[in-house]
Amino acid sequence: MSGQPDEVIRAFAIAENRILLTLDADFANLFRFPTAGTPGVIRLKIHPPREEAVREQIQKALALLKDTPLTGCLAVSQGNLIRIRS
């Protein structure tokens, strides 16, 4: 869905009941994209977002979140830290 507007990507994730995994900081704006009614959002904070760093951060985030329900929540993953907001 690369290149699609944020609203389209969010609607697709909700319709398909998929957690949205993104590098896009826009999805961390809870006023613009509230997480209520979503399967959840995982925002990866990586600078610079090189492919290897993205892969590593995804693995870390998934390991840290494996037992955490994300429905209706935003998880922000940076390094070895995860912040969860609802």
User: Could you read off the pLDDT of 22-63 as tens digits, one per residue?
Assistant: 999 999 999 999 999 999 999 999 999 899 999 999 999 999
**Average pLDDT of every residue of the chain:** 95
> What pLDDT does 86 receive?
85
pTM value surpassing 0.85: yes
Beta bridge partner(s), residue 70: none
- All structural domains of the chain with their residue ranges: 6-85
Element (H, E) at 62: helix 51-65
Is 66 in a helix, a strand, or coil? Answer: coil
> What pLDDT does 69 receive?
95
Say what percent of the chain tops pLDDT 90.
93
Q: How far apart are CA 51 and CA 57, in angstroms?
A: 10
